[in-house]
Amino acid sequence: MSFDVDVRRRMGPDAEVAVRFSSGPGLTALFGPSGVGKTSVLAMVAGLLKPDTGHVRVGRETLFGERVDVPADRRAAGYVFQDARLFPHYRVRGNLLYGARRSGGQGMGPAEVADFLGIAHLLDRWPRTLSGGEAQRVAIGRALLSGPRFLLMDEPLASLDAARRQEIMGLIERVRDELGLPILYVSHDRGEVERLASTVVEMG
């Protein structure tokens, strides 16, 4: 499965985001400094922001363009944010099960995901008690349990220390290689992109 994206959107009187790329399987990185519109492109692929013109295709499916605009909740995208965004009123188990409810029983199950990510021992913990690396593992697990056709990751390592960054990069490599899900990944870190990306799209 691959990404085929050609989008343009005016963001204000003097600001515009425009990018065009096609990529094959693996991890595609949107790379560039802060403020060039990387997260906006991710939002357009997710269906959270509508391009003024262009198209978004994942695999053989057109998500936007040619008189098509698939709603965000039907795009089957798993979204991982920079700050994890776990539900504070749910334990880890509840956060994972929230993702599983969205999948309709498709894809990996909670126990399988917890084992794959090494978080089975965290299931009864509250998000506030987790380290940054643990919280991102849970966030990735919630995204995987939503039955995604592809993953969108917005600077998932930015708030982590060096040791946790290495740990989560290894996990992302496993997701990329063992699960075979295409990943669209935002980063401004050159070393991170060189290690993880199959395709690099430079912006800015």
Token pair belonging to 75: 């795009």
Per-residue model confidence (pLDDT) at position 103: 65
Residue count (the chain): 204
CB-hemisphere CA count at 13 Å for 163?
Answer: 3
**What are 104-138's pLDDT values in tens digits?**
656 678 899 999 999 999 999 999 999 999 999 99
Per-residue model confidence (pLDDT) at position 86: 95
Orientation of helix 110-117 relative to helix 132-145, angle to 10°: 140
Per-residue model confidence (pLDDT) at position 104: 61
- Read off the DSSP letter of residue 2: -
Domain 1-76+151-156+182-203: CATH superfamily is: P-loop containing nucleotide triphosphate hydrolases (3.40.50.300)
Largest CA distance in the chain: 51
Residue-range domain boundaries for the chain: 1-76+151-156+182-203, 78-148
Token pair belonging to 139: 């966030």
Q: Is the pTM of the predicted complex or chain greater than 0.85?
A: yes
All residue ranges of the chain with pLDDT < 50 are: none
